[in-house]
Structure 1
């Protein structure tokens, strides 16, 4: 059933299929093992989409339609990227799903293609970048990818599964080696990042061991890193239910701490959901008006604030039509803006396939509107924080520079940009940007 559910999610037409996994798993009552498999099937398909399509061009006769291509990719994910699934189970279970949704003739075709994929799979690296799978100790029997010496961006699109336009941008800004490293990092399933609340990370680590959850210390002193496969165990632990630990990455935590909120202050969180930054502001003693355009997300934000015992300092408000609240003179405004997510492509793999000129144009207009709306609601001497999980300058430093050129009543107090680094010694690091601006008194 898990393969069929993955197929249904991937063919749903959603631009964010990985976000559907939890709801589908809940609806079907999947146990932790099948829930984890569903997450890996969908997530790996999205992360490795271009690589899988290159494999289909080599393995499939003709061009399979969308429904058939989707079930074939699910099979290839298991055979090439999920070590815990035996070949016989990958083939038989994927064929069974194909039989359910496509019928017997297509199921036989799926069986043939997957068995051919096994036949052409080789262990180890060949040393030929046209055959080797990045991040896997495997290679293909024949040339699969384009020659990187002739077409580096097209090779990266296939082998690193990243849009060539994005690779080219990163190459120009960071250099070829760093650009390819950013792409490779985005192929990995990210670990679970946990923030300890009111207790030491050592205490929480000891509590989670009881649930067979192993952790390591993160870059931030209050952050622990666990395996994504331990998500269910963490979310059902007493430590989580009682608000002593929550899911939050170090980059998001540092952005919230950069605000410097103080007890007694009044803050506006303009794009508040899912609430990670709201609760950090409230934990500092500030009262927070948390706004969003999605009532369901605000419900979850309230649940998080209640679990972390800061709900008494949080007011939520649905922004009808996206219009910002009428109130002004906040001590601080936090704008965690919608963005391209290029700093967190490991966690949000589908974002890479939305990146392009149309998205940048749409986001540029929205981000400018949000920044202006936030700035108009800060009192003199107050603080404006701009935060994204993007590493694109148009959404970050360039946007802030243009804003400051229009507003001489604001000055830049602090900014920082972090590039994603999944191999950092202190644990995986998300990418992102944050700037703190002060309105002149």
Structure 2
């Protein structure tokens, strides 16, 4: 693969005509793309015809997600006739790649390399942040897939809204220019709450490399679980997580269950409950009605408890009451509502990704290819953030 090109007279003429204030030139000059060549060197063979510089191919592919082309075919045509784009990407005029070159380039790099490039840009963005104590916001968004995509699954945003596709789980630094620091792509049927620990761990590794710390995580009720709260508190991170009203109250605290001096658990109808095992994932213990074999015969509340099914009522006891009490205290703080408002920054990021950087313009099948597409969309967003932060730095310096 080529590292440098022989500039022609046409190339030098085009370069002299590009203004220093050209938006794309400013954006590309703000980012250090030099690491891409070394990162991709193992993907190429030393024998045969020399290919295009992977740094140039990546910058060209980024043009799609920056809005300069709608597809790889259109991108190839733009590079062929637009000398400005050709020069800024690093190609020689008249010697630009065909559309299928970009397809093979995606295949050659794969999901892992695109993710490595994204992480490098995250590190560049973190270097421009002045604040040391950072607040993170986490959320997910849906992406609809083709009906023929075998990796996709059905997911639900609400009772009335279902979709077939994937979820992008994202964690960003809540600043005026939000910076994505961790991302995970899953099938649509995955619960959001399971991704908080993994994403926050990944974000902490990135942030701590730049001698910064995570002080708080803001999330909606979909992330409300004892496991998540316990992880954040153990790592000295303040959990600003909204309460999930479904199944959060302990049956004993709610006054539904009475415990006798002998340790017997009685329901409101004074029927002794049967222990029915422990749910490890949810951290709770289950009890069933003691008359479930008789389907409630002999109980005054039979018509109420066994109205919907013959299974009868179930009661759940949370194992870690202390964590729940800590979360209640945090939610009662005066600063909770004000801090929780910062969660909306991640919604704005998703709006930008979908509206400008083609996040929902899915043309691929399979979770690996979809992940590469999402990483490129985030890279386009991050490149604009880095250019904005550097421009702000220069204004302050002046």
Bucket of the pairwise TM-score, normalised by the shorter protein = under 0.3
Please identify which structure carries the higher helix content.
1
TM-score, normalised by the number of residues in structure 1 = 0.23
Q: Which has the larger radius of gyration?
A: 2
